[in-house]
Amino acid sequence: MPSRRDQVEAYSFASGRLRSALVSGDPDAPRAPLRRTPIGLVIGTLLALLALGGAALLALLRPGSAPGWAQPGTLIIEKETGNRFVMADGRLHPVLNYSSARLLLTDKYRTTAVSAEALADRPRGGRLGIEGAPDLLPARSGGHSWLVCATGTTSADGQVTPGVTVHLDPPSAPDRSAAATALVRAPDGATYLVQEGLRLRLTTGWVAHALGYAALRPVPVTESWLETIPVGPDLGPIPATGRGQDGPGGTTVGQILRSNQPAPPDQFFLTTSAGLVPVNDTVAALVLGDPQVRTAYGDTTVGAVPVDLSTLSRVPVLEVPDWARLPLISRTPADWTGQVPCLRLDVDGNTVHSALVPLPQEQAQAPPIREPGTVAGPHVAGGFLTPPRGGALVRTLPAPGAAGIGLYLVVETGAKYPLANDGAATALGFSPGGAAPVPAPLLALLPTGPELRVLGGES
């Protein structure tokens, strides 16, 4: 009877013949077909272990370069916390804010997210950056359209406290073609007529009546809002020497004459002792509205005296003096009920076009400006509004048509930051040549943050 060993050997022999028949087609092949497989596996494993040991030994003898996130010019963001770092002098330095990171890394700037575990064993350094610099930069530079609105709040007893809001690149605003005229009152009690981008001071009380604005209640405004509007000539009594005396060609000094010729219609002249001075509607209205004009008309009705061409031909016509070069005033006062007067400024190259436009009270409101680290001047605006990620790189415009030298970055919160030079603007991702010119009084309405300068040398 076969033993157990005989049975195992017989089983192995039969299995080997079956395996050889399946793999090679010959059950009586002299060599097992899969004999090389385990031998190759053992040899390959030994070679892999030798290669791994050699690589580990080489890494100990010659350390490799730092990981990609530790290379210079990289803003490292810790995934779990959002903390920002840069590598400098072999140390991991926290960065105070995003704009500081841009000013540190300049044109080498790139961002990568790294886990806290990967950063845990890195030596740490001190904080880098500019304290109070903005953490949110504009997505693009705007600044080509502004609204400066004379808002106000009314107390329970009906007292109005004037205020100012600034809107940068508003998505919807009245066009300059909707320009209107407003009668406003400054904190010192002075009354101004604002029209066509100019503020004209009314020097005496009867001027508003003479120009057709007596029925209007002046809108109270702040001094800072008025400062954003260029100064025009004063509106007041017109100089008249010798009023009521005989003038040349049978005229009376101090009277207003109106040509009754069809072309040009309603041409006005002021009679003087030397001749006739051509004047426009504004000057004529001020002459006729002056209480002292009664001296020139005596017992006759005060008004423009119609004259024909023959009368005009007998009297010399003089050059228009400076005091007679007043702007034409709209004789149709705007209704400001429920509206707020807003100065609209549109930038075109180095020129700023301005006009006074009406805006509904609710649209003129804006969130208050709250930006830590900024300094607010005495006449800072009460609110600022711009589209999300809005802002602008701007230059001051000290005079019409002249490019200013002050370079500022206005951010979404309403704060402005002076830039040390064009290089700082480039490091922050803006083209200095694309800075929009803005009048200095408008920029004075925004609080000022610290100066932004290139910090690349510090790293």
Fold of 245-324: OB fold (Dihydrolipoamide Acetyltransferase, E2P) (2.40.50)
pLDDT tens figures, 194-243? 998 899 999 999 999 999 998 888 999 999 999 999 999 999 999 888 89
User: Residue 195 contacts by C-beta under 8 Å, 6 or more apart in sequence?
Assistant: 179, 181, 182, 327, 329, 330, 356
Which pLDDT belongs to residue 1? 63
For residues 368 and 436, what is the distance between their CA atoms, to the nearest angstrom?
Answer: 24
- Both tokens of 110, joined, read 């790139």
CATH assignment of 64-129, given 1.10.8.80, 3.90.550.10, 3.30.2390.20, 1.10.150.110?
3.30.2390.20
Which pLDDT belongs to residue 61? 52
- Least confident span in 42-56, 103-117, 190-204: 42-56
Q: What is the mean pLDDT of residues 143-172?
A: 88
Whether 64-129 and 245-324 share one fold: the answer is no
> Whole-structure pTM over 0.85, yes or no?
no
Residue burial 321-351, b: 16+ Cβ < 10 Å; e: rest: eeebebeebbeebbebeebbbbbbbebeeee
Q: Is the pLDDT of residue 8 over 80?
A: no
- Least confident span in 10-14, 239-243, 250-254, 379-383: 10-14
pLDDT tens figures, 57-75? 654 554 444 466 777 778 8
Q: Which H/E stretch holds residue 42?
A: helix 36-61
Which pLDDT belongs to residue 309? 80
Q: What residue ranges do the domains of the chain occupy? A: 4-62, 64-129, 145-230+333-445, 245-324
Q: Is the pLDDT of residue 392 over 90?
A: yes
- Least confident span in 157-166, 257-266, 333-342, 390-399: 257-266
- Least confident span in 168-177, 284-293, 388-397: 168-177
Amino acid residing at 409? L
- Per DSSP, the chain holds a count of helices (H) and strands (E) of 12, 23
For residues 213 and 331, what is the distance between their CA atoms, to the nearest angstrom?
Answer: 8
Q: Map tokens 């490292």 to a residue.
A: 76
